[in-house]
Structure 1
Amino acid sequence: MFTRWSYISTSQFDATHVEKHIQEIVDISIPRNRSLDVTGALLFTGNRFAQYLEGAPSAIEELKASILRDPRHGEIRTIASGETPHRHFLTWSLAYAGPSQFVSDIIERALNDALEKGDEGLEALIQMMSEFSIRGRG
């Protein structure tokens, strides 16, 4: 059995060098997650983050505490936590497809649905993250 934690937060980045800041997060997170045997996915719309993490309870708690202290995130709202029977991102220490203004509106709608519709919205968000990670491999 694995533990999961998923959240949506507001970006605290200023408008300059956003892509550089995101790349720094990804570059640090991939080896850290790998060392903790955590898998998951990250979405960034330019305004908000959505992240889904899964792994051992102690590893998820460590990452959660780090993210909650991180000044790059504001208004962090947990949308899922607790046990999960399987991993959704088995081979990804951090699936991230990169910023895309083209899909930003679609992602924003999915984030709002995850916040407002509970499990139904969360499953749609996980599916979207999964699709990005599968297509991002190619």
Structure 2
Amino acid sequence: MAQITSDAHTLVNMTYVSRANLDLSPKALGEILQQAQKNNTANGITGMLVFNNNYFLQTIEGPRAQINRLLYALILDQRHHDLQLLETRELKHREWSKWSMNQASLNEQNAAVYLKYSTTADFNPYLMSAESARGLMTELSVQRS
């Protein structure tokens, strides 16, 4: 007989892209990051956020029920639009366990990493595959360790 597991014990990863509604100042982006870190810690969620040219690329992981609740909140969040899921998958273990929410933005030190995974000279995560998005975020997180 198959063992039944609850959503609370099923670890999932979700990666999405969206566009900021307004030009975000560094202060506003910092506020979003602080809010995400606080909320994610309370809800057992970890992840990585990449922001560049008013694009968000984010991967989050945690219990399925918490990720579903967060997705609903993200859809309703007026600070961004055009949310598109790149990937949702079950995990055996966390990939971003060090961070309630790590963050990276384009700078001179990591410009080559962006170009390595991008399909165009300008960063546009809507054109990235889920595999490319994972590779980009993994390399950027190693630089931030």
Same fold (TM over 0.5): yes
Higher percent of residues as helix:
1
Indicate the TM-score class for this superposition, using the shorter chain for normalisation.
0.7 to 0.9
Structure index of larger Rg = 2
What residue in structure 1 maps to residue 38 of structure 2? Answer: 31
Separation in 2 of the partners of 1:82 and 1:127? 16
Percent of aligned pairs with the same amino acid: 24
State the alpha-carbon separation in 1 of the partners of residues 15 and 30 from structure 2.
20
Is structure 2 residue 142 aligned with structure 1 residue 134?
Answer: yes
Structure 2 residue aligned with 1:9:
18
| Consecutive unaligned residues in structure 1, runs of 5 or more | 115-120
State the TM-score, normalized to the length of structure 1: 0.81
Question: Unpaired runs of 5+ in structure 2?
Answer: 1-9
Instruction: Give the 4+ runs in structure 1 shifted more than 2 A.
Output: 99-110
Residue 49 of structure 1: how far off its partner (Å): 0.4
Aligned to 2:98: 91
Q: For residue 100 of structure 1, what is the aligned residue in structure 2? A: 106
8 Å contact kept, 1:3–1:83: yes
TM-score for both structures, normalised by structure 2 = 0.77
1:112: how far off? 4.1
Across the aligned residues of Structure 1 and Structure 2, the Cα RMSD in angstroms comes to 2.2
